[in-house]
Amino acid sequence: MPRIDIVNGPNLGRLGQRQPEIYGHQGLYEILSALRKAYPTLQLEHFQSNHEGALIDYLETLGDHGSRGVVLNPGALTHQSYALRDAVVALTIPVVEVHLSNIYAREAFRAHSLIAPVAVGHISGFGASGYRLAVEYFIERMQQE
């Protein structure tokens, strides 16, 4: 069963409660449950942390665990973490950056992503559907291999 990792950064554990007018009403585990139900033939692993180092440590293990791709929502680390960017560069598997809100339609500081230039793709502004779109990309990619 192919493995895809879904990695979420700071404050994303509060989805559904934190600013639902921006991030939606679904909680993170509701989003993950819907993905697992929609894609029963995939091993969808999940990791969320509010700590930059923990996210980096997790990403560093993925090549050893047979992951075929990473759906990464780095939260606010998108705009400020060169260390997380370097961890993405070091991966030998593809990464799709996902954001629930349209980061380009919000505060000016959010319109710059350090991750986007080193990811294979960037999905922003489609709410929880962004995770599904990223998983679909990996399915299509695996079918072409």
**What is the Cα gyration radius of the chain?**
14
Place of tokens 């079918």: 143
99 carries an active-site annotation: yes
| Among 52, 72, 76, 75, CA closest to 121 | 72
Catalytic residue of the set 25, 46, 51, 99 = 99
Alpha-carbon distance of 55 to 74, in angstroms, equals 9
| Among 68, 56, 63, 67, CA closest to 115 | 56
Q: Which residues contact 137 (CB under 8 A, 6 or more apart)?
A: 69, 96, 120, 121
Alpha-carbon distance of 18 to 76, in angstroms, equals 14
Residues annotated catalytic, as ranges: 99
